[in-house]
A and B are shown apart, each in its own frame.
Chain A
């Protein structure tokens, strides 16, 4: 009751102040005042909606400088610039957060705060505030005033210490700067090899506290690299770092696809001079053929129950879709009959829809058909109508968004369609985008593209405004697939 009165009073004060400022100042100053004052009455999570106009205006000027300087830093290889995060356009909603280096992290092999910062910035929902020159003591409350002057809404503090057994003790605490509140913290005791994971889990904590949504920084991605004539399948952290080779071959590898549990990968290997689908157990390295029929076997897509994959086989002539039993107990079941190319199947997370690419209408377009278990039900319906060449569908976990590649004016660009309204838009201005894949929370898309004549992996926010290029050690990097949430 008392709180509500206080809130009401505060509201009046805000209105009065805003009106007063409006009289005194120009519009932009009103905008500024509104953003400075109004959010104080709200929890940080809700305040985010009020940040964008101010934070964006504030950074608009520095934006061009930022992209140039970050590009330079990228090549210099500083800890800060492990990603080149590009921000473009207007209307961004980004929470300003200060992430000073964790106290004592110089002793650690990984710079925790920098990794957290890169994660949060890559999400498109956070803006890192420069914390140079400001100090803190992780054992006591921060001096909030000094962070407020830097326009930070949140502050992450932490420390790294060496334990007697050689492991690292990592602690962090998240603060709401505006309301001077402790938002919680965690501590980890880990080996040096797990420091990056700790940083990603810290970023997960911050993201989930401040957005109220599930976070994906500690998930993993799979991708393929080609270095000379060497093809390798990798599993890496969601930021592309900490890569571990799962397979190496002198013949091409394509189309890695995570099982729903995140313990197996299906992929296509040309090791026997033709396309054959394998399922690979990541923990043991054991792999087996699941589709090696006459002709080509490709484009594996897992069913949610992991009992079958939908794949493109040409065993009866033409590229057609089949449900292939993982156990190999029954013959592949042909899902559709067409005289055309049917390929690139995607099974929705609820297992009830099958999206695929078909040129049955003369040019490749994305279609969908209802699934009942491993049976297609009814006639396929066309999903994409704009553009004459649409391929490589990817579906968000909630089934509401479709990412795909559209050829427009001879170039291949990542597009996003809202499946409810049917509206779609290009997310990039690059020319050779390929194989999009959603993060499990549906807030980011990873895709392959070409930059400066080299294949690269990028992530983008769903509005296309925040993009980050993932580091590639050497050679070309391609065919990303974003894995599920980890336990």
Chain B
């Protein structure tokens, strides 16, 4: 168990480090820092590679039993432990032993941008989404609207459906950080509310987005 908590602490340290690096400047990120960032903020697949495989089942047991034994306490403390399901979340549960208590929504990105014809949340936005999920899980009174948008090409209704797909992609990413579906509503404005008007690619890239709006 001691080894497990050491690993957990190490991850926590790496992750906080990575977050700081992300906040200060991308240009200073070296190859090692990038690896750490991906390990800390990226998908669970990366974590699997880093973690000692035979330790994992015990970790699962530990989290599960903690949930069963003391679910009330866990809920009060973090609000998210009870909803942890994926392996990525299990790592989160360890971090949340000392949850950062946010009083205002995080300063991180409120707008998630997408590539052309794409609905994939790019890795660079994962850290920001995690911060939003944490905040919402800490303050159960707040709710989040996810507003999907598209660029100006094509029909209004089909773009509305594409924007909906972008909003729901962000909702899925947030759910991986433990945010329940009841806390968030995904809607779309299609191409009706562009961030900027213009037919150049830079403008269109700014318009392909999901905005996080707190209620």
Contact = CB atoms under 8 A, between A and B. Distances in A.
Interface of A: 252, 254-255, 270, 273-275, 294-296, 298-299, 312, 314, 317-319, 341, 343-344, 357, 364, 389, 391-392, 405, 407, 412, 434-435, 478-479
B161 A341 contact: yes
B134 interface: no
A412 B165 CA distance: 22
Interface stretch (B91-99, B104-112, B182-190): B182-190
A57 B212 CA distance: 62
B147 to A, nearest CB: 8
A391 B213 CA distance: 30
A4 B161 CA distance: 64
Contacts of A294: 185
Contacts of B145: 273-274
Interface stretch (B10-18, B79-87, B152-160): B152-160
A270 B164 contact: no
For chain B, the bracket of interface size reads 20 to 34
Given A275-B160, A296-B187, A299-B160, 6 more contacts: A273-B147, A275-B187, A318-B165, A319-B160, A319-B164, A391-B155
A260 B189 CA distance: 28
Interface in B143-194: 145, 147, 153-158, 160-162, 164-165, 168, 185-190, 192-193
A296 B192 contact: no
B188 A275 contact: yes
Contacts of A296: 160, 164, 187-188
Contacts of A479: 156
B100 to A, nearest CB: 30
A314 B158 contact: no
A437 to B, nearest CB: 13
Nearest to B152: A432
B157 A252 contact: no
Nearest to A434: B155
A295 B153 contact: no
B155 A295 contact: no
Contacts of A318: 164-165, 168
Contacts of A405: 155
Given A254-B192, A275-B187, A343 B156 contact: no
Contacts of B147: 273
Contacts of A317: 168
Contacts of B213: 273
Give the 10 A-B residue pairs with the shortest CB-CB distance, closest first: A252-B192, A319-B161, A274-B187, A341-B161, A343-B161, A391-B158, A392-B155, A299-B157, A391-B155, A296-B188
Interface in B119-157: 145, 147, 153-157
14 contacts: A254-B160, A273-B145, A274-B145, A296-B188, A298-B161, A312-B157, A312-B160, A318-B168, A319-B160, A319-B161, A341-B165, A357-B158, A391-B157, A435-B156
B168 A255 contact: no
Contacts of B158: 341, 343-344, 357, 364, 391-392
Given A392-B155, A407-B154, A270 B189 contact: yes
Contacts of B165: 318-319, 341
B154 A341 contact: no
Contact of B162 (A275, A341, A344): A341
Contact of B192 (A270, A357, A364): A270
A379 B51 CA distance: 47
A299 B164 CA distance: 13
Contact of B186 (A295, A299, A344, A412): A295
B64 to A, nearest CB: 28
Given A270-B192, A273-B145, A314-B186, A295 B157 contact: no
A412 B164 CA distance: 22
Contacts of B161: 298, 312, 319, 341, 343
Contacts of B153: 412
B157 A298 contact: yes
B133 to A, nearest CB: 18
B155 A435 contact: yes
Nearest to A319: B161
Most buried by A among B157, B158, B187: B157
Contacts of A319: 160-161, 164-165
A343 B186 contact: no
Given A270-B192, A273-B145, A407-B154, A343 B160 contact: yes
Contacts of B155: 344, 391-392, 405, 412, 434-435
Given A341-B161, A341-B162, A341-B165, A295 B187 contact: yes
